Amino acid sequence: MVFTVKCIAAHWSILDPAVGATEPFSSGAAAFDAAVARASDHHRRTGQDSTVRVEALGSTVDAVHFNH
C-alpha cells in the first residue's frame, strides 16, 4: 500500500488509499510523520509491503518502504 504525502500550493495532505480520500495537515513534517505511522501500522497488521511517497514541486520520491 502506498501512502502519498502531497504538497499542492503550500498545502500538505496525505492520500490514504484505504480511505480513498485526502486528509489535510498543517505542515509537511506533520503529514510525513502521520504517513510513516500509518505505513508502519499497515505493514505490522497485514505483513504487506507499505510505502510512503512524497509528491512536491513536480517531483516524486518513495521516502520510506516497509517490507519483509
Q: Which residues contact 50 (CB under 8 A, 6 or more apart)?
A: 1, 2, 3, 39, 40, 42, 43, 65, 66, 67
Torsions phi, psi of 56, nearest 5?
-160, 145
pLDDT band at 66 (very low <50, low <70, confident <90, very high): very high
Q: What is the pLDDT of residues 11-58, one digit of tens each?
A: 999 998 988 889 999 999 999 999 999 999 999 999 999 999 999 989
Domain count within the chain: 1
Q: Which domain holds residue 49?
A: 2-66
Q: What is the pLDDT of residue 65?
A: 97
Q: 23 and 13 in contact (C-beta within 8 Å)?
A: yes
